[in-house]
Amino acid sequence: MPRMTGGFDQFSLRELFRVEASAQAQALVAGLLALEQEPHRADQLEACMRAAHSLKGAARLVDIGAGVIVAHAMEELFVAAQEGRVTLSQAQIDVLLNGVDLITRIGDAPPPPEGEDDLWEEAAEDYVVALTRALGQPEGARPDRQHEHPVVDLPEIKLPSTDESAERSMRISAENLNRMLDLAGETLVNARRLTPIAGSLQRLKQLQKQAARSIEALRESLQPQGLTPQSQAALSDAERAMLACRHFLTDRMAELEALDHQSTSLTHRLYDQALKVRMRPFSEGVTGFPRMVRDIGNSLGKRVRLEIAGAATRVDRDILERLEAPLGHLLRNAVDHGIEMPGVRIGQGKAEEGMVRVEAHHNAGALQILVSDDGAGIDVELIRARVAERRLADEQTAARLSESELLEFLFLPGFTMKQEVSELSGRGVGLDVVRDMLKQVGGKVTITSALGEGTTFQLRLPLTLSVIRALLVEIGGEPYAFSFGQIVRATKIPTTAVSTVEGRQLFDLDGEQVGLVAAHQILGHDILPASGETLSVVILTGPEGTYGVMVDRFLGARELVVQPLDPRLGKIKDISAGALMEDGTPLLIIDAEDMVQTMVKLAMSDRLNAVQQAGTDIAARSPRRRVLVVDDSFTVRELQRKLLEQSGYDVELAVDGMEGWNLVRSGQFDLVVTDVDMPRMDGIELVRLIKHDAKLRGTPVMILSYKDREDDRMRGLQAGADYYLTKGSYQNDALIEAVVDLIGPGQP
């Protein structure tokens, strides 16, 4: 094809075709999935025919012969279906979807070098043969699982890498967009700096008024006959100057108040508009999932349909990108683990076709996503049996675990309910990825399930990662912030409402007894809280329970531009990020989930101080031997903590290697027990750091891992570990025996 004039060449035209192919492919997939349910829907046949026709025209314009061949064959089939000469069957829709994939690949491919044949045309001709062969399949036919429909062999042509494509079309613009939103957020915060300036001017006005009264009192105290004419004139000049200052200051304050109002309104509109540009409809992140669910179902011999609600819900671009992998895992699990085989569903009185639903909406200032299915549900008794079978807890402990505690095991790395390993499942990889992603963005996930009725995963995430609405509080004379998305309530309670039970302070919250902890103790402040008749309390909740955190006082609500902390600091206990107040004062943003875990640790080790004694030194070391447990699984950490504490050891917990490294450097521990596979820093690296530190190298380190191969064990021991124990094989006694071997018995 000769080069085009007017600024277009072969490459830019192919780029236009790539965009066209991507858009029309989405329309074709949506239409084909609808036709699979209702093959005679005229509107969907019309939409698919038009999409194929548009693709054919675009391919012809750019001289992509392979695209013309494939699109024309698909268009002819849709026309035949419209005229009633063909009724689309399962087999034909399978091949039509393959055609959509082929056109997408053709659009992504670079043009062939000059003088060489387009190898894609051979693939296109093969596809026409496959489509013609599919026309011979009877209506309602399903593909043979061992002999799928012919798949067109694609030519070996190097496609442009995703990174290069993103660099051309997305990366630069996305970076600029993020920067624009950051600047808009900073402008939003800086605009509020006019408010304290206005307050300062108000104070200046009061001082000026006092000065005017002093001059007036001076005149009254002096006898007029005692003043010289010059003094009389000077005093009158001072009074006139003060009056002029008063009028000038009043006018300037009015102008400043108007400017403050206009600036605040403008910056809010600017930020809201920048945020809207950054926010994308939820549908953009889930376009490929209906096809994926349908194909996975077909490969398993199941009929499954995905329903998406809230497609127009606006979602932060970064969060939308991060959601792809977690949602993919949840949907694959729903099809593989949840939805039953057609015969089983019919026998239970259910529809043969299983339903999986994804719903997105905004709720209480957060993004809420529900992933549900109408399948078999989760049998918690099977989880209980698997926990005992894998020796994650002894039978007595497993028998006492509640339903919510048992469901937590599903998020363990390597934990699976499948007996066999398949391409889809059985390796225990998936739900831990979901929780890790949510934790990274400050979100949460919960599970509800009814046996025989289905399962629902509820994901709760912030609307944006750039700016948060937060409650500012004062603790020990310093400002801190709690994100509204992470707190239950902020309230004041009378000191008389606090009671002490078994050494722990409690108060009543809507009929529930909630533990009360001083923020000074959690954060290590030595300053005592101010005494008074009421206490300022922030209510936090987590999987471990609900707690009240007593702070010195509330400073009000603010919008804060989130400033990530230097990654070289690692994970700072109980802190997630930083921000600036209106006057430029820095503050720290509390990690509410981390703080709840800290309170649980203090409560379990009986180290909670009364709120009137928040200045007590909480770092005083117990005479009992101290053990640091490092594991990214909450369930594993808690099981090890309970077991070690029952054996007479003080236990501190860390959620990953980075936090473990920070703790072991700042505290004094007799033993470190660590997992291997953890985010940010794995256990092997943690062992190396400990053993290469002059002050810490004498601290024994035990590795407790699911990896039980000999080379894994040697890798841990070569890094410097003093003991290597596998989670899948140890008994409770084996763990305690190993700890006793390393540091001696615990103390009651």
List of long-range contacts for 270-277, beta carbons under 8 Å, 24+ apart: 270/184, 270/187, 270/188, 271/181, 271/184, 271/185, 271/187, 271/188, 271/467, 273/184, 274/180, 274/181, 274/184, 275/181, 275/184, 275/464, 275/466, 275/467, 276/314, 277/177, 277/180, 277/181
Q: Does domain 626-743 have CATH number 3.40.50.2300?
A: yes
Can you tell me which residue has the tokens 């069957």? 89
Cβ–Cβ < 8 Å for 457, 372:
yes
The Cα 181–Cα 277 span in angstroms is: 9
The Cα 213–Cα 193 span in angstroms is: 31
The Cα 303–Cα 298 span in angstroms is: 6
Cβ–Cβ < 8 Å for 586, 580:
yes
Across the beta sheet with 478-483, what order do the strands follow? 553-561, 467-475, 478-483, 586-590, 575-580
pLDDT at residue 623 in the model: 61
The residues with which 578 forms a beta bridge, in sequence order, are 563, 588
Which CATH superfamily includes the segment(s) 11-160? HPT domain (1.20.120.160)
pLDDT at residue 305 in the model: 92
pLDDT at residue 345 in the model: 93
The token duo for 89 is 């069957």
Question: CA 660, 663, 665, 671 torsion: positive or negative?
Answer: negative
The Cα 685–Cα 668 span in angstroms is: 20
The token duo for 217 is 């009192």
Other CB atoms within a 10 A radius of the CB of residue 18 amount to 20
| Cα radius of gyration (the chain) | 34
The Cα 99–Cα 544 span in angstroms is: 51
pLDDT at residue 705 in the model: 81
The Cα 208–Cα 12 span in angstroms is: 69
Other CB atoms within a 10 A radius of the CB of residue 163 amount to 9
Q: Which residues contact 69 (CB under 8 A, 6 or more apart)?
A: 121, 124, 125, 127, 128
pLDDT at residue 352 in the model: 93
pLDDT along the chain (748 residues), means of 10: 42 72 86 88 89 85 85 89 87 87 84 64 84 64 38 43 37 60 70 70 79 79 72 83 84 79 76 72 87 89 92 85 87 91 93 94 83 93 87 83 85 71 51 80 85 92 76 87 84 84 78 85 66 82 80 83 75 82 78 83 66 41 76 80 86 85 83 86 88 85 80 82 74 79 81
The residues with which 501 forms a beta bridge, in sequence order, are 504
pTM of the predicted structure, to 2 decimals: 0.54
Pairing relationship of beta strands 366-373 and 354-363 according to DSSP bridges: antiparallel
The Cα 746–Cα 670 span in angstroms is: 11
Angle between helices 42-62 and 10-37 (to 10 degrees): 160
pLDDT at residue 347 in the model: 92
- List the chain domain ranges: 11-160, 190-279, 303-462, 467-613, 626-743
Q: Tell me, what amino acid is at 719?
A: A
DSSP SS3 for 468? strand
pLDDT at residue 532 in the model: 66
Which CATH class, in words, describes the domain spanning 303-462? Answer: alpha beta
Q: CATH code for 467-613? A: 2.40.50.180
